Amino acid sequence: MAAEKRILVTGGSGLVGKAIQEIIEKEKEPNEEWIFLSSKDGDLSDLEETRSIFSKHRPTHVIHLAAMVGGLFKNMRRPADFLRINLQINDCVLHCSYEFKIQKCVSCLSTCIFPDKTSYPIDETMVHNGPPHPSNYGYAYAKRMIDIQNRAYHDQYGCTFTSVIPTNIYGPCDNFNLEDSHVIPGLIHKCYLAKKNDQPLTIFGSGKPLRQFIYSKDLAKLFVWVLRNYEDVDPIILSVGEEDEVSISRVAELIVEGMEFKGQVIYDISKSDGQYKKTASNMKLKSLYPDFKFTDIKTGIFETVQWFQENYDSARI
């Protein structure tokens, strides 16, 4: 007998998708079937390919993660690609979710799409309150449009499309490429090479910017909770609390400790720091899911460093 819920996860082979796979192996409900897609299953920026994927799997629910993703420097180099490819992917996935009468579609925004000039802490009502930081406006505007699309499909067709807003994510299976990665995987890879080659570890920027990081396994649990329990169209921020914001230099210290790197650490202040901070409030999440326990950043970084060292040959480097 076919499962009642067939949940299609776009971007199922990425950092977040892999973490959801791991959680689902332990927490799958009997009436659920989960399908995890990678780009090998088809190009979701192409409407016909997306339709044929939906037609093949006939999902009832969608978790939409697929996106062109990258760190600060890749975002600064390729704003047009970030804008166009992400707009196309989102349009194809959301329109097919409408055409195939999906019961709920949960898409993924990011706290880095919020206005550059804003009051803190940022909350879910502030997504569209001013231009994003110039370093990632292509990605930011494409992501902001998901919220507009969700409302439009809801208002015109009654669709239950919603979105979550994670802060910076890190964990096993991330993209550790030195040019294109986010700060934690990039620093882990650099530290690994500095240790191996007996060289100093150079960190781009001053180390002073502050960030809230969420461990991919925590985010995966929260994604599953949102799919099963959250009914609003309006987005929900998935983040550790404001008190758990850490500086990039603290993150670097933890990586150095986890990797047991004994060499010199240098901050290259000729490189951009990006946005100084983007403190987000997790009050909405806490009010709806007060018992959720986040992994502390030291444990999360140590586990990620260990995973990277054990999987260096197969990791995305």
User: Using CB under 6 A as the criterion, which residues of the chain lie in contact with ligand NAP when the complex forms?
Assistant: 11-17, 38-40, 43-45, 65-69, 89, 108, 110, 166, 168-169, 175, 182
Find the shortest distance in angstroms from Cβ 149 to ligand NAP.
14
Q: Which residues make Cβ contacts (< 8 Å) with residue 220, sequence separation at least 6?
A: 16, 19, 20, 22, 23
- Could you give the 3-state DSSP secondary structure of residue 124? helix
Question: Min. distance of Cβ 15 from ligand NAP in angstroms?
Answer: 4
In the complex with ligand NAP, the residue whose CB is nearer, 45 or 135, is 45
Min separation Cβ 185 and ligand NAP, Å: 9
| Closer of 5 and 316 to ligand NAP (Cβ) | 316
Measured CA to CA, the distance from residue 150 to residue 237 in angstroms comes to 16
Q: How far, in Å, CA of 226 to CA of 162, rounded?
A: 9
DSSP string for 48-113 = HHHHHHHHHH--SEEEE-------HHHHHH-HHHHHHHHHHHHHHHHHHHHHTT-SEEEEE--GGG
CB of 119 to ligand NAP, least distance (A): 21
Q: How many of the other CB atoms lie within 10 Å of CB of 227?
A: 21
Nearest distance, CB of residue 205 and ligand NAP, angstroms: 17
Closer of 108 and 256 to ligand NAP (Cβ) = 108
Q: Which of 98, 120, 139, 289 is catalytic?
A: 139
Q: End-to-end CA distance of the chain, in Å?
A: 42
Q: How far is Cα 109 from Cα 165, in angstroms, rounded to an integer?
A: 5
Query: Measured from the CB atom, is 32 or 180 closer to ligand NAP?
Result: 180
Report the residue number whose CB is nearest to ligand NAP: 14
* Cα–Cα dist 185/176, whole Å: 5
Q: Which is nearer to ligand NAP, 45 or 261 (CB)?
A: 45
- Cα 18 to chain centroid distance, Å, stands at 12
Catalytic (active site) residue 139: yes
Are 75 and 82 within 8 A, CB to CB?
yes
Q: How far is the CB of 153 from ligand NAP (least distance, A)?
A: 18
Closer residue to ligand NAP in complex, CB, 67/159: 67
Tell me how crowded residue 37 is: count the other CB atoms within 10 A of its CB: 19
Is residue 36 classed as helix, strand or coil in its secondary structure? strand
Active site residues: 139
